[in-house]
Every structure is written in C-alpha cells, then in structure tokens.
Structure 1
Amino acid sequence: MKTTLYRPIGLKELQLIIDMNFKGFPPRLEWQPIFYPVLNQEYAEQIAQKWNTGDEFSGYCGIVTKFELATDYLQKYEVHNVGGFIHNELWVQSENLAEFNSQIINPIEVVKVFTGERFNVDNKDQASLCVLKYLKR
C-alpha cells in the first residue's frame, strides 16, 4: 500500500527539487532539525497560502507538492498533531532525509500554487517558470 503525503514549499525549495529531477527533497538547513511532510492537502494549502505567500525566502509563493511512499515504511514515523483536527504531520529527523527520499515512489508533483502580492516572475528561473506553467492551466 501507498500513502500520499504533501509538502508546502516556496520557490527556492522548488528549484532544489527540480535540480533533483523531482525525486527528493533537499537537505535541511543547519537550523532545521526536522523535515515535516503533512498528511493532507488541506493543511498543506493552509501553510502555502497563509505563510509562504508572505515570506520573502519563499519568493512570496506557496507551492503544494504531493508524493507517495510505502505505508509500511512510514510506520516508523510518529504522527504529530500541531493544532487543529487536520494539522497532522510526520517528523523526519534531518539526518534521515536521504533515506526518506529514497523511499519516494513516483516523482514529486506540484498540485497547487498560491502567489502573494509581492510575487515576481524571473523568466530565467526554472521554479518561476514551473509556477507560471501551473498557473496557466
């Protein structure tokens, strides 16, 4: 069996995922001890829309990604509820991210994009072009 997970990201992280051919998530920054995919699209959209679109580091863009892993593999990670009923996420220690990435079954998909008022497209940037392509659907 497979389980679908979601991850809200910004433009910089999308570019790193593109650089990895949509096969994994980039290593965490030194100050980020965990990688936290979320368990439903609604929660991922809340984060992408309410946080990423107002964040300069995210390029004022919130992108919801979707990916699948074997349910058996995910049993090793505890589900953490960090707020309301839908606010469930897995906490993957940053040192385990490479192994986690190796378990992703299909390429990571972009499923939703939100842009903030300060979003600006760089036509030379692959991530921006990917976002524009998605928005023109």
Structure 2
Amino acid sequence: MSGELKTLWRPTGPEELELVRRSGWRAWPPRLPEQPIFYPVLNEDYAIRIARDWNAPRYGVGYVTRFHVPEDFLARYPIQQAGGETILELWVPAEELDEFNAHISGVIEVVHEFRPDLDRT
C-alpha cells in the first residue's frame, strides 16, 4: 500500500460516538441489521450539514469526525454522489467494515460538535 492518506469525515450521533470512544478512537462499530452500508463522506462541509441539521435536532447533539485511510485501499469503493455536486460518499458494505477499520491510520477525531439552538421556534 502506498503512503498517501485520504481524509474522510463521518457525521455521527452520541451513541455511535460512544462506541468509537470505547474502541480507543480506532474503529467504527458494526452496522445494525437495518444499516447495510457504512458511509463516510468526502468533504467536511457535507459532514457539518448532516451533523448540524439532522443529527443535532434528532439526537440532541451532532458530531463531525475526521479520520484517514490509505487512498489505494479506498479505491475499491466507488464515490457515490448522493445529491448535489459536493454531496459525495463512499459506501462500504457492512460485512467489510472490520477490514475498513483495520486500514484507518491513526485515530478518529471529533472536529465539530453541534447542539440544537434552543432559542429557535
């Protein structure tokens, strides 16, 4: 594998983040039966929008995490355009998540935290 790392982001809620913490900040938890894919996103802005606009209102807090994976390993996952031009994701099948986690370089970091604005009506 080459040494070139790709930065990925993952918007997440508090339950998933707690499982990441328990892994020593090194792995994503197994998917639930209703979650056949794990989808990290390719840009920070998209991750922020999901964490701020969807996760924070739904779970009371939304987080954006950042982590790094070798580019040559990621080449097996085609980029998925889930909406607009910058709404890009990788779709990792749930059964491949252990192998994906083994390729994370370093630790998973929390880079943003969002809570609902209680003054909004």
Fold similarity call, TM over 0.5 = yes
Counterpart of 2:52, as a letter, is: Q
**Number of paired residues?**
115
Q: Point out where structure 1 has 5 or more consecutive residues left out of the alignment.
A: 119-137
Runs (4+) of structure 1 moved beyond 2 Å? none
Q: CA RMSD in A?
A: 0.9
User: Which of 15, 18, 34 is the equivalent residue of 1:12?
Assistant: 15
TM-score normalised to structure 2 length: 0.92
Q: Point out where structure 2 has 5 or more consecutive residues left out of the alignment.
A: none
Secondary structure, counterpart of 2:26 in structure 1: coil
TM-score normalised to structure 1 length: 0.82
Q: Measure, in 2, the Cα distance between the counterparts of 1:12 and 1:83.
A: 26
1:85 alignment counterpart: 85
Identity percentage of aligned residues: 44
Q: Measure, in 1, the Cα distance between the counterparts of 2:82 and 2:105.
A: 27
Give the structure with the higher percent strand.
2
1:30 alignment counterpart: 33
Q: Measure, in 2, the Cα distance between the counterparts of 1:23 and 1:11.
A: 16
User: Which of 13, 22, 41 is the equivalent residue of 2:44?
Assistant: 41
1:2 alignment counterpart: 5
Please list the CA deviations of residues 4-53 of structure 1 after superposition, one character each: whole Å capped at 9, or x if unmatched: 00000000011000100000100001100000000000000000011001
